[in-house]
Amino acid sequence: MKNYIYAMRIFLFIILCLSIFSMASSQNFEGGLLVGLTASQIDGDSYRGYNKVGLQGGGWVRRMFTYTVGGQMEIRYIQKGALKTNTANDPTYERTGLQYIDIPLMAQYVYNQKVLFELGFGPEVLIKAKLEDENGIVPMPDPKYNRFTISAIAGVGYSFFEVITVNFRFNYSILPIRAHPSGQTYLLNQGHYSNVLSFGVCYQIRGN
């Protein structure tokens, strides 16, 4: 049953990507595909470092309001989480894998027709969470990861060959992705937060 639900979520994601391409065919819009890598950690747990490497991919649609200012909407499948590897002095291994579908909404500023600055936010839906230790997959302990969250996103990009743009982004969850196991909170520290660096390649699909 779980595999069926997961497959249905991926199918819905594909349908949403196709909807983006349909929007891009409208006048004054452009759109295409995006793929890339992520490096992530979870602020609030006991591990540090962008050690969890993952994938991202999806579709995007953009409209330029002036020659330099535009807006872009995306639908992405993105992998996040945290990783603590074992060492000779510490045999503990722990890997948290979180898979999301998010919808980044970005304001963009184009400088000198090549350099792109962007700022925005992205609502996110958790579609799968998995925890592994040195013995394999283990049940996810309470408190569970929240089904819905939202991240702030800032990035910079550079355009190549008119149809290819590479970007580097910083994603940080505005809302906690999970409560602290202790249940304690302090001021803005309300739980665990997703902290992600990403590298992406956007390809523009041009019509006839």
- What is the maximal distance between C-alpha atoms in the chain? 61
pLDDT averaged over the chain? 86
Does pLDDT of 196 surpass 90? yes
- Whether 10 has a pLDDT exceeding 80, the answer reads no
Residue-wise pLDDT tens digits, 16-62: 655 555 555 555 778 899 999 999 999 988 788 999 999 999 999 99
Query: Percentage of the chain surpassing pLDDT 90?
Result: 60
Model pLDDT, residue 184: 72
Mean pLDDT of 100-120: 94
Quickly state the pLDDT bin for 122 (edges 50, 70, 90).
very high
Q: What is the pLDDT of residue 27?
A: 58
Structural domains of the chain, ranges and CATH numbers in brackets: 2-205 (2.40.160.20)
pTM of the model: 0.84
The pLDDT value given to residue 14: 57
